[in-house]
């Protein structure tokens, strides 16, 4: 026990020595230390000289504290004139303080300025750590990021957005200048690395979007990176809402296992929309119109008023049409189902296989599911519950 206490004490001493050395090596500590040393020593010297002042010329520096006050006023070239030396030695000390003060203050000012300049350069290059909280982090870069940011600005009031990617800092600076209605920060680096995500303050982010970074990679490589990043984000901040964009639909199951809240698949509906131009002319244009950012009419989610809880979907549809001139087309509900993989272990043991087999034989299964369920065009007599939200076609902002 004594040996353990001794070892802990030795570790504490080593850490204290190391931190003390680091503190003493700091340029600011050295400069402020030199400044205070000059003030204290000069204050004492001028007080000592002033004790021999001629009685016909009484001194204004009658004690050491007044001497220190005089040293501060002199070294910062303020010169109040309430205290000043009357003796030759005191005035000689004053000259030395003025010369030393100019030198130290000049170096201190230059050091502070260089620090601010360095921080500004590092921030412009995306090397600084973001201090924001409850922000939106967008990992990766492709042509969709512009639309994502525009949509966030359109729906949110001056959102704080952190871009994490390997693009050129100059390009990110131009991007931020194009979107001055948002506070945009840039973090340079590989968004699949925890150290880079830490600089984006991912642990305190409210939302994270991972886009397929297809700039210099194949589709499969981009999806692999998205999956790795999703695992890293959820490991660092399990509470954040995470949304991912993939190119290959086959990778959807991997993202579900990474507990991504929702996934967008590239070109998922391109074939269907092209066919609808032939089979249902005009329908693809409706989709374009509803999703276009510049239109005032959009697909939006609206909270259900308390007065509608317990009533039917038909009654709620009439309410939204009457009150807001909006067409209610469905409802959503937050779900908290448990995935089978959350209950079973990772080693795929015989017991796990047996449980999975029995569940499949009985026709029961746990969803690998989304946290949000959607029902379009529900029955007119569907009873509206407390945690429902309405999906309507209406004005973007009420």
How confident is the model over 43-79, as pLDDT tens digits?
888 888 888 766 556 677 878 888 888 888 888 767 6
For residue 184, what are the β-bridge partners? 161
Query: Does residue 233 belong to any structural domain of this protein?
Result: yes
Query: Does residue 110 belong to any structural domain of this protein?
Result: yes
- Same-domain status, 119 and 149: no
pTM score, whole prediction: 0.62
- Same-domain status, 217 and 306: no
Query: Does residue 104 belong to any structural domain of this protein?
Result: yes
Using a 10 angstrom Cβ sphere, with 0-12 exposed, 13-18 middle and 19 or more buried, the burial of residue 189 is: middle
Query: Which run of H or E residues covers position 300?
Result: strand 297-303
CA 47 vs CA 51, 75, 83: distances in Å: 6, 16, 11
Query: Does residue 290 belong to any structural domain of this protein?
Result: no
CA distance 101 to 107: 10
- Same-domain status, 162 and 262: yes
pLDDT band for position 358 (50/70/90)? Answer: low
Q: How many domains does the chain have?
A: 3
Mean pLDDT of 85-92: 83
pLDDT (0 to 100) of residue 396: 75
- Same-domain status, 143 and 114: no
Average pLDDT, the chain: 80
Each residue's pLDDT tens digit, 158-207: 999 999 998 888 888 899 899 999 999 999 999 999 999 999 999 999 99
**49-87 burial by CB neighbour count: b if 16+ within 10 A, else e?**
bbeebeeeeebebeeeebbbbbbbbbbeeeeeeebbbbb
Mean pLDDT of 226-238: 92
Q: Does the pLDDT at position 111 exceed 60?
A: yes
Query: Does residue 275 belong to any structural domain of this protein?
Result: no
**Alpha helices, H only, the chain:** 2-25, 27-50, 64-75, 88-124, 144-155, 169-178, 194-199, 219-236, 252-257, 270-279, 283-291, 313-324, 340-343, 350-361
List the structure tokens of 75: 């070294």
List the structure tokens of 149: 């940011």
Mean pLDDT of 128-146: 90
pLDDT (0 to 100) of residue 388: 92
Domain boundary among 71, 98, 124: 124
- Same-domain status, 32 and 86: yes
- Same-domain status, 221 and 149: yes
Query: Does residue 274 belong to any structural domain of this protein?
Result: no
- Same-domain status, 43 and 84: yes
- Same-domain status, 179 and 202: yes
Query: Does residue 331 belong to any structural domain of this protein?
Result: yes
- Same-domain status, 142 and 120: no
Closest CA to 135 of 58, 207, 219, 39: 207
CA distance 204 to 206: 7
Mean pLDDT of 18-35: 73
List the structure tokens of 239: 């509470």
pLDDT (0 to 100) of residue 334: 72
Q: Does the pLDDT at position 341 exceed 60?
A: no
Q: Does the pLDDT at position 370 exceed 50?
A: no
Q: Residue 308's domain spans which residues?
A: 296-335+370-395
Closest CA to 15 of 3, 27, 4, 23: 23
Q: Does the pLDDT at position 23 exceed 70?
A: no
Neighbours of 16 (CB within 10 A): 10
Query: Does residue 344 belong to any structural domain of this protein?
Result: no
């Amino acid at each position: 026990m004594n040996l353990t206490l001794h070892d802990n004490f030795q570790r504490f001493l080593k850490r204290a020595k190391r931190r003390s050395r680091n503190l003493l090596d700091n340029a600011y500590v050295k400069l402020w230390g030199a400044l205070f040393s000059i003030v204290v020593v000069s204050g004492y010297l001028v007080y000592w000289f002033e004790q021999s002042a001629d009685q016909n010329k009484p001194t204004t520096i009658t004690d050491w504290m007044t001497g220190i006050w005089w040293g501060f006023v002199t070294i910062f070239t303020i010169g109040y004139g309430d205290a000043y030396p009357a003796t030759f030695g005191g005035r000689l000390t004053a000259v030395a303080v003025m010369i030393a003060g100019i030198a130290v203050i000049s170096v201190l000012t230059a050091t502070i300025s260089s620090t601010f300049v360095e921080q500004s350069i590092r921030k412009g290059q995306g090397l600084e750590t973001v201090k924001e909280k409850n922000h939106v982090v967008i990992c990766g870069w492709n042509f969709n990021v512009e639309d994502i940011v525009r949509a966030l600005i359109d729906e949110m009031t001056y959102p704080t957005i952190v871009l994490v990617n390997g693009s050129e800092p100059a390009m990110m600076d131009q991007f931020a200048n194009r979107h001055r209605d948002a506070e945009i920060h840039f973090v340079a680096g590989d968004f699949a690395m925890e150290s880079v995500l830490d600089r984006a303050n991912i642990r305190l982010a409210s939302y994270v979007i991972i886009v397929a970074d297809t700039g210099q990679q194949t589709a499969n490589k981009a999806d692999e990176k998205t999956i790795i990043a999703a695992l890293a984000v959820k490991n660092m901040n399990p509470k954040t809402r995470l949304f991912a964009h993939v190119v290959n639909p086959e990778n959807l199951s991997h993202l579900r296992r990474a507990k991504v809240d929702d996934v967008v698949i590239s070109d998922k509906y391109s074939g269907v929309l092209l066919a609808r131009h032939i089979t249902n002319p005009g329908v693809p244009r409706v989709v374009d119109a509803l999703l276009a950012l510049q239109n005032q009419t959009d697909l939006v989610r609206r909270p259900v008023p308390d007065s509608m809880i317990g009533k039917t979907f038909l009654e709620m549809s009439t309410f939204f049409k009457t009150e807001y001139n909006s067409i209610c087309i469905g409802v959503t509900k937050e779900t908290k189902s448990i995935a089978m993989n959350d209950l079973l272990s990772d080693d795929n043991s015989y017991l796990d296989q047996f449980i999975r087999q029995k569940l499949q034989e009985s026709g029961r299964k746990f969803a690998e599911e989304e946290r949000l369920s959607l029902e379009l065009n529900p029955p007119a007599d569907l009873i509206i519950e407390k945690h429902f939200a309405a999906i309507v076609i209406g004005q973007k902002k009420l």
